[in-house]
Structure 1
Amino acid sequence: MRFNPGWPMSLFVALFLPLTLGLGSWQLNRAAEKNQILADYVQDQEGAVRPWQGFDRHAPGTKLGFCVDVGGEHWFLDNRTHDGQVGYEVFLPAQHCDSAAPVLLKLGFIAASGPRTQLPLLQPERWLGQQQIEGEVRPRPPEPMLTGPAEDMGLQRWRVQSLERTPEGSFIEPATLLVQVKTPQDWQLVDAWQPVNMAPERHLGYAIQWFGLAVVLVIGFLIWGVHRAADLQRGKHE
Structure 2
Amino acid sequence: MTDPARSAAADGRRVWLVLAAAGVMLVVLLGLGTWQVQRLAWKEALIARVDARVAQPPVALADLAARLGEPQALDYTPVRLAGRFLHEREMYVLATEAGQSGWHVYTPLVLDRAAPFGDTVIVNRGFVPYDRRDPATRPGSQPEGTVAIEGLARSAPRGKPGALVPDNAPADGTYYWKEWPAMVRAAALDPADTVPFFVDAGPGGAAALPVGGVTRIAFPNSHLQYAITWYGLALALVAVVFVWLRGSRAGRG
The TM tier, using the shorter chain, reads: 0.7 to 0.9
Q: Which amino acid aligns with 2:188?
A: S
2:164 is equivalent to residue 149 of structure 1: no
Q: CA deviation at 1:19?
A: 2.0
- Check the 8 A contact 1:103/1:172 in 2, yes or no: no
- Check the 8 A contact 2:33/2:228 in 1, yes or no: yes
Partner Cα distance (2:30, 2:250) in 1: 30
Partner Cα distance (2:44, 2:23) in 1: 33
Q: CA deviation at 1:213?
A: 0.8
Partner Cα distance (1:161, 1:172) in 2: 22
Q: Secondary structure at the match of 2:23?
A: helix
- Counterpart residue number, 2:225: 205
Q: CA deviation at 1:183?
A: 5.8
Partner Cα distance (2:31, 2:217) in 1: 26
Partner Cα distance (2:98, 2:57) in 1: 31
- Counterpart residue number, 2:111: 96
Q: CA deviation at 1:151?
A: 3.3
* 1:24-63 paired onto structure 2 within 5 Å: 24-53=33-62, 56=65, 57=67, 59-63=74-78
Structure 1 residue corresponding to 2:150, chosen from 129, 134, 141? 134
Q: CA deviation at 1:198?
A: 0.6
- Check the 8 A contact 1:71/1:127 in 2, yes or no: no
Q: CA deviation at 1:84?
A: 4.0
- Check the 8 A contact 1:55/1:177 in 2, yes or no: no
Partner Cα distance (2:140, 2:24) in 1: 60
Q: Which runs of 5+ in 2 are unaligned?
A: 1-10, 68-72
- Check the 8 A contact 1:66/1:134 in 2, yes or no: yes
More helix by share: 2
* 1:79-228 paired onto structure 2 within 5 Å: 80-99=95-114, 101-113=119-131, 121-123=137-139, 126-140=142-156, 143-144=160-161, 145=163, 146-152=166-172, 158-164=173-179, 165-166=182-183, 168-171=186-189, 173=191, 176-182=196-202, 184-186=204-206, 189=211, 191-199=213-221, 202-228=222-248
Q: Which amino acid aligns with 2:37?
A: L
TM-score by length of 2: 0.73
Q: Deviations over 1:190-231 (max 9, x none)?
A: 6443334313xx211111111111111111111112211221
Partner Cα distance (1:143, 1:160) in 2: 11
Q: Secondary structure at the match of 1:95?
A: strand
Q: CA deviation at 1:77?
A: 1.0
- Which of the pair has the greater relative contact order for Cα pairs under 8 Å at 6+ separation? 1
Residue correspondences, number: 220
- Check the 8 A contact 1:148/1:160 in 2, yes or no: yes
Q: CA deviation at 1:21?
A: 1.5
Identical positions, percent: 21
- Check the 8 A contact 1:55/1:176 in 2, yes or no: no
* 1:62–1:172 distance in 2 versus 1, CA, 3 Å: farther
Q: Which amino acid aligns with 1:178?
A: F
- Check the 8 A contact 1:71/1:128 in 2, yes or no: no
- Check the 8 A contact 2:92/2:174 in 1, yes or no: yes
- Counterpart residue number, 1:155: none
Partner Cα distance (1:172, 1:21) in 2: 52
Q: Which amino acid aligns with 1:218?
A: V
Q: Secondary structure at the match of 1:137?
A: strand
